Amino acid sequence: MTDKFHIQEIAPEEIPEPRRPEPSKMVIFGASGDLTSRKLIPALYSLHLKGRLPRGFTIVGSSRTAYSHEEFRREMRQAVEEFGDDPVITSKWAPFAEGLFYSPGNIKNAEDYEKLDGFLRGLSDEGENADNRLYYLAVAPQFYADAVTNLGAAGMTAENDGWRRIVVEKPFGHDLASAQALNSTIHQSFGENQIYRIDHYLGKETVQNIMVFRFANAIFEPLWNRNYIDHVQITVAESVGIGERGGYYDTAGVLRDMFQNHLLQLLTLTAMEPPIAFEATALRDEKVKVLRALRPIGVADTAERTVRGQYVAGQVMGEKVRGYRDETDIGPNSQTATYAALKLHIDNWRWQGVPFYLRSGKQLATKTTQIMIQFKCAPHLMFSSPAGEGLPPNLLGICIQPDEGMHLRFETKVPGAGMTLRSVDMEFHHRPTFGEDALPSAYERLLLDALQGDQSLFARSDEIELAWSLVDSIHAGWETDAAPELDFYEPGGWGPDTARHFIGQDGRRWREVCGH
């Protein structure tokens, strides 16, 4: 039986409410798209139900689709009913819908921005709604430059009569050069303090809890270094294939799709030094220091420090699964990696000599995101153990999803004669402790932060560019004769055999389920 911490129940009324943002309005470019329907409007409606939106808050959708205000409201209600976590109650929906408006426009047409600006200024006269604006680019990346350039040209970025902020979705560029070019374009219209580059992983409660776990608990931080930690594993596994994203994925691959953003963000939070305060500049400074300390992976290093794989056709739970090269819009000889494993080193005082193993892939055994900390073994074993076996290491598992929580594995004595040892777990799970509805969607947190002007959980330009530098160097190596061979793997497992050999040659193994 698993041992568990005794967790004190916390009543909802004991959880303090965050401050409410000041009056403002939000413009969603790409309002007829999936992101708006599946994520943004359901998250905003949930914030409305919790009383966390600004007073007099209005949301203006904009896209080429010809909606009236009422048609847009009906579409958004249907979206919340289909994709939202909260039931749509007419008495609750009505005041939210009153703040939903629609202004049709072509993101490439400068004249449409002038019309939008006039519409927004007209809304400023209603009630206590000030002319603070949050622009959200829920459009394809190729339209980002058009949107910010036209906003700037229309005078819609100047903060003369209220603040102006812009949220940019990932992917932020497809390599270092394109990321730098996009940063340059955006900076011509917006200051860095106005830009919110969003990565929904940072909005997850369990990701934010990494910082609380490390810096609010004195029992762990003294051990968080090369003296006590043997190595760190970060896994983002997906149990599905690429779906209908073949056109995008075959030009991106797993490194651009997952490592440049999600995995490196988790790495920085795990490895960074304590910031002087939980505020944007201090926090992002420490994350950037980690990225600057990453040992480069040159062309000659890729075979030794990276693994790449691609899933083939197979069966999962009796169901046939197509191979990657059989997916829509994928060529028969595609060399795109759907799985990768990296061995990274952070060359600083805290982490010198501690390897960080990162892996991610499609069509794996289960969907999970986790960070595993393996501590060094005790220096001397005074207890008996089976022949050829040493003392198992202590493990700390931080489970980001889907079973949000933490697992601490340590050794204890089995009751009875002798000194027989057994590994046991102490566990903490978010949902049983705080309630089934206690974990808001990542977009709820990030939208609220953007409205409040808190950039702590958003990436800075130098952070983006440093991450791309690492990914670009690996891709450069993969395109040469020094590249590791593309290893094929069947769906429903844990990736190619080379990944096991990759970590096994260091005398270590992958921890494939959080806490195990």
Distance CA 326, CA 312 (A): 9
Q: Which of 358, 402, 367 is nearest to 267 (CA)?
A: 358
- Cβ pair 471, 342 in contact under 8 A: no
Distance CA 33, CA 138 (A): 7
Q: Is 200 a catalytic residue?
A: no
For 506, other C-beta atoms within 10 Å of its C-beta total 12
CA quadruple 10, 12, 17, 18: dihedral sign: positive
Q: At 358, is the secondary structure helix, strand, or coil?
A: strand
Distance CA 123, CA 104 (A): 16
Q: At 290, is the secondary structure helix, strand, or coil?
A: helix
Distance CA 185, CA 52 (A): 33
- Cβ pair 337, 308 in contact under 8 A: yes
Indicate the DSSP class of residue 277.
S
Q: How many CA atoms lie within 13 A of 24 on its CB side?
A: 23
Task: Give the phi and the psi of residue 222 in degrees, each rounded to 5.
Answer: -65, -20
- The string of DSSP letters for 410-426 reads EEEEPSSSS--EEEEEE
The token pair at 251 is 């030009």
* 48, 200, 262, 430: the active-site residue: 262
Q: Which of 46, 54, 59 is nearest to 21 (CA)?
A: 54
CA quadruple 248, 249, 255, 257: dihedral sign: positive
Distance CA 65, CA 74 (A): 14
The token pair at 354 is 């501690």
What lies within 8 Å, CB to CB, of 490 at 6+ separation is 311, 312, 314
- Cβ pair 407, 397 in contact under 8 A: yes
Distance CA 460, CA 440 (A): 24
Type of residue at 286 = E
**Active site residue ranges:** 262
